[in-house]
């Protein structure tokens, strides 16, 4: 579950993430991203914050920028169809679903949720292509 205020900009390079983990973690957006915090004044959090909070969500009480009044704690995505790619989002509060819906990563307005959905779709397609390539070998 990504932070609902994290706008992913680009995937982190493997060295930016793997130096802290012994294996590739399962991440809400499919891979680790660097990006911008949109809670309050937009800013780029430290790599540590992005690794521990922005990419993983549930930062309430752990991040000084997370708004206490936020109705949402985290965002989760899932694929419901491959061809064409259909993505659903689930907004969570206290580890429970609060709102959900289908998301068209190519047709939604420019918002943090749209950036996250597009990042998730990009990561999903990349991982799917890598798996297909590995099977072909």
Query: For 3-7, 10-14, 56-60, 116-120, which range has the lowest pLDDT when averaged over its residues?
Result: 10-14
73 has a pLDDT exceeding 90: yes
Which pLDDT tens digit goes with each residue over 77-88? 999 998 888 899
3 has a pLDDT exceeding 80: yes
Question: Per-residue confidence at 39, pLDDT binned at 50, 70, 90?
Answer: very high
What pLDDT is attached to residue 110?
78
**Closest C-alpha among 12, 121, 58 to residue 21:** 12
Helix residue ranges, H only, the chain: 14-18, 47-49, 112-136
What pLDDT is attached to residue 135?
87
Task: Please tell me the distance from the alpha carbon of residue 45 to that of residue 90, in angstroms, as a whole number.
Answer: 24
**Closest C-alpha among 113, 120, 129, 122 to residue 27:** 120
User: Could you give the 3-state DSSP secondary structure of residue 6?
Assistant: strand
Mean pLDDT in residue range 86-97: 93
136 has a pLDDT exceeding 90: no
The two structure tokens encoding residue 24: 């590739």
Q: Give kind and range of the element (H or E) at residue 74.
A: strand 74-81
């Amino acid at each position: 579950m990504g932070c609902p205020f994290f706008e992913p900009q680009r995937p982190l390079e493997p060295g930016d993430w793997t130096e802290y983990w012994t294996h590739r973690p399962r991440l809400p957006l499919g891979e680790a991203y660097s990006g911008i915090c949109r809670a309050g004044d937009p800013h780029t959090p430290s790599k540590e914050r992005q690794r521990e909070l922005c990419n993983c969500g549930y930062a309430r009480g752990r991040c000084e920028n997370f708004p206490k009044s936020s109705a949402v704690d985290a965002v989760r995505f899932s694929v419901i169809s491959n061809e064409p790619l259909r993505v659903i989002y689930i907004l969570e509060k206290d580890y429970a679903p609060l709102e959900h819906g289908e998301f068209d990563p190519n047709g939604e307005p420019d918002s943090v949720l749209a950036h996250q959905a597009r990042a998730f779709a990009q990561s999903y397609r990349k991982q799917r292509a890598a798996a297909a390539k590995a099977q072909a070998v």
